[in-house]
Chain A
């Protein structure tokens, strides 16, 4: 009892802080540094679409920090529903707002402070981030003077430094009581023009900066130039793919050998009645996922995160904007697609950055046309195993990379086509705009990025895949080993689907694998392998090198492999994504369209390749 009341007292005393700032001033980084949470940061504005919340304790007092989406205007920053509700509850008082600014763009931050002081109750602390970069550029800021002129505490930090974060916490702690009392808005509202002018004056008074500017660098002129812009982007992407495929090869083989080596020892420990389901069902599926999915993901996503942190993704959106404009969309859709490349459910959430409802709906529907990492790994392993084994050795590294690159380009092209179709038919109207801030290039903290990306993205996603795959593995094993009329149930099911599969150039097992992998795309391949092995072709497909043989034995041709990859790109979103789509849009129509669009596209493409293959066979 005593403890509860103590806790309640503590909760009542929790001091509330809001984190406000212009886009891309490192709010998420400061938020993470203060709370110890791992909110994913990205070097583009609009990355934080939700108001995130976290707690920390300083000097025995508990603080709750709310991270508001980046904004150039106080009123739009506070317009988020969740935040307004809070502010109303306590009359906008008893909270302190931490206004974050970029030292290299101090004027903007000061303008935001001036706007805040005119409009809001409660006090504010100005925190100027990226002081290290500003210092290197020769910008000197007098924080004492700044604090005097603005009438609020001001501090300069570098969010990466722990000591600086502590300094910030100390400043907040010292001034919280006097600040949170809640003062009436200071002055009447003035025009933004006057505010900006005043901000400029204050900056000139309190800081000293050299007269050159660095924001328009050589890098941008090359990366967005007519001649090099798009080729460089493709080269970058091809390079990442090549590193992924080449780099994943060896650890994959090693892992699958290791798991194969452990298997008999493990089997010896398990009582024989449950040996099949535990070892062949669950162990087989889970180890396949770890061996085949983990290495490419552990290489691709950290590399991609580095590009993201460096500020490269907004430039991709910038370069490709013309394509999106033609489809009636904003180039920001490109950012949601890049998020979709990690996980479509995340991409669907990210569609909130789209400027209007129509574009948001289209972006949600077309997001799953971009392969998420689960499907991405299928593409990589299939092209490495099947396409790689069909070409001469010296091309074995290059061909799979080209193959995956072409497939990704196809996925983007198809998503543009689908967006165009929807914006011309079902969702008309509205003018598409593209107003986006291009953040400065920042040197990413390579080691930290790699570690965080590995932990937060890769391990989490693989873990989710394992959680889903273990029970599914058991069910599939049961299906594969329960005979109905002398034939395994799995084989029976696939025989039912076989005519439909043959029609689009694949087989019943492949269709069945796609249907059964609705919970998570990662388990498509294990289901397929178990289906084939249940049919009696082979007893052990654990090792990667055996897979190619297994697939060939089951009548796989180049057409089967191509159509399998096409279906991997375009079938239907996984269950998690479907649930997210419904949660985000609350519209059954959008949900149905999200399910059917990739489905129709995939089947049509497979029919086309089947017809083409038949035509080629006839001619030859």
Chain B
């Protein structure tokens, strides 16, 4: 899978199914802080959960506790980096 990787940072929509990453940065988005309101803030862990039958949108497991569905067009505004060692998981 091609990743538009730069300093290990890439858009969330390129995260493989099942793998986890940490949010590095939220790019400016048209909704204005709406993603942050849903819980997408830098430092939060995010895991690609599953996709809809059409492949888009995708549901992401956010912080290990809530499941949020995003379209690829929205997910590309979220930049993530792969967690260094083991898959960090938060259950709380």
A interface residue numbers (CB < 8 A to B): 22, 71-73, 76, 102, 104-108, 139, 192-193, 196-197, 200, 203-204, 207, 209-213, 215-216, 220-221, 224-226, 229-230, 314, 318-319, 321-322, 325, 331, 355, 431, 433-440
On whether the beta carbons of B37 and A76 are closer than 8 Å, the reply is yes
Measured CA separation A105–B91 after assembly (Å): 7
Q: How far is the CA of A105 from the CA of B57 in the complex (A)?
A: 23
Question: Do A438 and B90 have beta carbons less than 8 Å apart?
Answer: no
Give A620 Cβ to nearest chain B Cβ, in Å.
Answer: 41
B37 touches A71 (CB 8 A): yes
B14 at the interface (CB under 8 A from A): no
Task: State A435–B40 Cα separation when bound (angstroms).
Answer: 11
Question: Of A196, A221, A225, A321, which one neighbours B69 at CB under 8 angstroms?
Answer: A321
Tell me whether B74 and A433 are in contact (CB under 8 A). yes
Whether A108 and B50, one on each chain, are in contact in the complex, defined by CB atoms closer than 8 angstroms, is: no
Q: Which residues of B are found within 8 Å of A107, using beta-carbon distances?
A: 63, 65, 90, 92
Top-7 shortest CB links A-B:
A322-B54, A105-B65, A229-B53, A192-B41, A438-B67, A209-B91, A203-B92
Contact at A224–B51, with CB atoms within 8 Å? yes
Of residues 44 through 58 on chain B, the ones whose CB sits less than 8 Å from some CB of chain A are 44, 47, 49-57
CB distance from A155 to the nearest CB of B (A): 17
Beta-carbon contact of A321 and B57 below 8 Å: yes
Instruction: Determine the chain B residues whose CB is within 8 A of the CB of A71 once the complex forms.
Output: 37
Please, which residues of chain B bring their CB within 8 A of the CB of A106?
Answer: 92
Q: What's the least CB distance linking A106 to chain B, in Å? A: 5
Which of A72, A105, A192, A212 has a CB less than 8 Å from the CB of B92? A105
Residues A322 and B56 in contact, CB atoms below 8 Å apart? yes
Cα of A355 to Cα of B57 in the assembled complex, Å: 16
**Complex-state Cα separation, A107 to B57, whole angstroms:** 26
- Identify A221's interface contact among B38, B50, B91, CB under 8 A: B50
Tell me the minimal C-beta distance from B50 to chain A in angstroms.
5
CA distance A211 to B64 in the complex (A): 10
CA–CA, A139 and B92, complex, Å: 8
Q: Known interface pairs A107-B92, A139-B92. Does A192 touch B67 (Cβ–Cβ under 8 Å)?
A: no
The answer to whether A209 touches B53 (Cβ under 8 A) is no
Q: 27 A–B contact pairs at CB < 8 A? A: A72-B37, A106-B92, A107-B63, A108-B39, A139-B92, A192-B42, A193-B41, A207-B92, A209-B92, A211-B89, A215-B64, A215-B65, A220-B67, A224-B50, A224-B51, A318-B52, A318-B59, A318-B69, A319-B53, A321-B52, A321-B54, A355-B34, A433-B34, A433-B73, A434-B70, A435-B34, A437-B69
B19 interfacial contact with A, CB 8 Å:
no
Contact B92 A224 (CB under 8 A): no
Q: A215-B64, A322-B56 are in contact. Are A434 and B74 (CB under 8 A)?
A: yes
Residues in A whose Cβ lies below 8 Å from that of B68: 435-438
Q: Which of A72, A139, A197, A209 contacts B38 (CB 8 A)?
A: A72
Q: Are B59 and A438 in contact (CB under 8 A)?
A: yes
From B34, B41, B52, B68, name the one whose CB has the most chain A CB atoms within 10 angstroms.
B52
A244 to chain B, nearest CB (A): 26
Q: How far is the CA of A203 from the CA of B64 in the complex (A)?
A: 13
| B52 lies within 8 A of A437 (CB) | no
Residues of B within 8 A of A216 (CB): 47, 49-50, 61, 67
- What distance in Å separates the Cβ of B70 from its nearest Cβ neighbour in chain A? 6
- Smallest CB–CB gap between B83 and chain A, Å? 14
Distance, CA A321 to CA B72, complexed state (A): 12
The answer to whether A440 and B67 touch (CB under 8 A), given A76-B37, A192-B36, is yes
Give chain A residues whose Cβ lies under 8 Å from the Cβ of B64.
Answer: 213, 215
| A residues less than 8 Å from B61 (CB atoms) | 213, 215-216
A325 & B38 in contact (Cβ 8 Å cutoff)? no
- Please indicate which of the listed interface residues B44, B66, B69 has the most CB atoms of chain A within 10 Å of its own CB: B66
> Could you say which residues of chain B place their CB within 8 Å of the CB of A331?
57, 69
A404 to chain B, nearest CB (A): 24
Contacts A215-B64, A434-B71, A440-B67 known; A225 to B39 CB distance under 8 Å? no
Q: Given contacts A221-B50, A322-B54, A438-B67, is CB(A213)–CB(B74) below 8 Å? A: no
| Distance of A319 Cα from B56 Cα, bound (Å) | 9
Q: Which A-chain residue is minimally distant from B67 (CB atoms)?
A: A438
B47's nearest neighbour on chain A, judged by CB, is: A216
Chain B residues near A434: list those with CB within 8 A.
57, 69-71, 74
Query: In whole angstroms, how far apart are the Cα atoms of A438 and B58 in the complex?
Result: 11
B59 lies within 8 A of A224 (CB)? yes
Cβ–Cβ contact B71 & A433, under 8 A:
yes
B37 near A73 with CB under 8 A, answer: yes
